[in-house]
Every structure is written in C-alpha cells, then in structure tokens.
Amino acid sequence: MSAFYPYLRMRRGRVAPWMRDMIAEHRLHPSDLIWPIFICEGKGQEEPIGSLPGVSRWSIDHLGKRARQAADLGIPCIALFPNTPNELRTDDAREALNRENLICKAIKAIKDAVPEIGVLTDVALDPYTAHGHDGVTDEAGNVINDETVGILTEQALVQAEAGADIVAPSDMMDGRVAAIRQALENGGHQNVAIMAYAAKYASAFYGPFREAVGSLGRLKGDKRGYQMNPANIEEALREVELDLAEGADFVMVKPGLPYLDVVARVRDAFGVPTFAYQVSGEYAMIEAAAAAGAGDRGALILETLLAFKRAGATGVLTYHAIDAARMIAS
C-alpha cells in the first residue's frame, strides 16, 4: 500500500463528468480536423465507395454544400482528391497540369461557395498516371525522381493559381519541397502554404483510398522504392528535417494510428505544426468493428482522434471529420 494512501486518491479526479472535463489534459475541437473529399466527373453524382462505407465521391456541383456543411461545424479545411477518368490517365500524367482538370474546377467551386474555408490539394501524380505510381517511370518501371519533381512543381503552381490555400506534396520525391517553394515564391503565391507528407510510409492501410481515386489495380510493382519502410523512425526524422529546411510550413505523418510514435517524435524534435492522416484502412477498420458490434462507433471515433492529440498532432485528416465535429459539439 502506498505511503500516501488514503491522503492521495487518484480517483478523486474521476468521480464526476465535470471533474474529468475540468482536468482533461487534451481536448478535441472541430478546428483540429481536416476533411478529405473525393471528387468525380459528372453532375448530380454521388458514388458510394464500397471499401469505405459512408464515404462517397461527389461531383463538383455538390461541393459547395459539402464545404458549407464543414464550415458550419467549425472544420477549417477540406482536402481534395480526384478520381480522374480512365481516358485522361497517361504515363506522363499530363492531366495533372490541365488548368481545367477536376481538382482545379473543384477548388474554384468551393471558393465561390464558401470562401472562408481552407482548401488543401494533393500534389502527386498517382491519380493521373496510367500505371498508378506517384511519378513518371523509366522503361524498367522505376520512378524517375528529378523529372517527377519538375512535373510536381508545375502541378502545385496550377493548383495555387486555381485558389488552393495549402499544397501538400505526398509523392516522397527528394527535393520536391524546395522546388515547389521556389516556384510558388516566383509565381507570386507567397501565402500558399506547403504541408509536406514528410514521413509517408509504404503501408498496407491505403487500399480503400486507391479504390476511391481509381488507382486500385493499376499499380505495376509497389511504392517501397520511394515511400518509407515501416520499420524506420530515425529516417522519418531526417525526412522531416529536410522538408522543413526546404521550406515546408507544416509536416504530416501518414498513416496515423500505427505511427503515433512517429508523430510524437516529430513534434518533440521540431516543435512545428505536425499533422497526421487517419487513412482509409484505419477508417474502414473502425466502421467494420462498429458494424460487427465490437464497439460503439462514436466512442471509437472520438477515442482514436483523441489519441492523435495526445501524441502531439496539431490536426488530423480524417474521413470521420463531419461525424466527429457533430459529436464534439453535442
């Protein structure tokens, strides 16, 4: 028995809801959330995604309503991901540079409807390549770093010109943050921020996302030649350090829950805004557990999101953003 007992009883701080709330060390707020939205061609379209129950692709005419929904709940930012039509996917990803592509039209639609909400755009080529890789490839199927960086830089400029507030290179090419930052500065987009996917792992949790953007089954080989080895954490710190030195404003760790140790180490080491992506496989597992009766859905959502905050995350990209914001407000 403790020498301090019964004078010190830790349970005193847990006896009532108001007491627990008063001394809580971490809190969730809708402003901690970024809502990823998938976009498709057409008009009046809502396309449910089979491996992501409750998540759909939306045509551009629906985006204003979705953005207003998020803003009214206090969610500050939306992340956009396109499902590019098959006929526009090429080995050189030229559609990524089209100023009238899905992503550019979506940015403009959201900014016209809800100008106060932030828009984050993905800078990567996998939604546009016929082979499913994040960059252009050589004859052997290897992703060519420097040629890809040139295309990514143009892609980021196209998105900034369309009205993106944050460009988020998710490709894991070396040197791309510096190239994008310089291009944004030279192009008069000094206020466009860069959220670098600085520690993006070659994870098994991305499957539903690939279905959502139409790249599932296209990939020739794998992405382990440029995405990180799940075994490594010191390498993640080096990646973050380099991206910050090249001009990243914020950094991201992806996936989320399996890499909370990386989130904590990054935040402790650098003290910069650090985001995590609760990826599609994580979302799908929570939904499957709730559907199987293995746990209360709302409690599972809020507990996992709180874990990100406890680990030191500034914010979380999550498909549960709308549900979470409603529960937080209730």
Show which residues are catalytic. Answer: 200, 254
| Tokens encoding 50 | 């089979």
Cα 200 → chain centroid:
10
Q: Which residue, 134, 120, 122, 177, is CA-closest to 315?
A: 120
- What number of helices (H) and strands (E) belong to the chain? 11, 10
| Pairwise CA distance, residues 300 & 230, whole Å | 25
> Is 27 buried (19+), middle (13-18) or exposed (0-12) by CB count in 10 A?
exposed
Q: What is the DSSP string of 6-19?
A: TT--GGGGGSSHHH
**Cβ atoms of 145 and 137 closer than 8 Å:** no
Is the backbone peptide bond immediately before 255 cis, with ω within 30 degrees of 0?
A: yes
| Tokens encoding 130 | 């016929």
| Pairwise CA distance, residues 140 & 220, whole Å | 10
Strands 46-48 and 56-59: antiparallel
* DSSP 8-state secondary structure symbol assigned to residue 238: H
Strands 274-278 and 315-318: parallel
Q: Which residue, 107, 96, 115, is CA-closest to 63?
A: 107
State the CB neighbour count (10 A cutoff) for residue 44.
Answer: 8
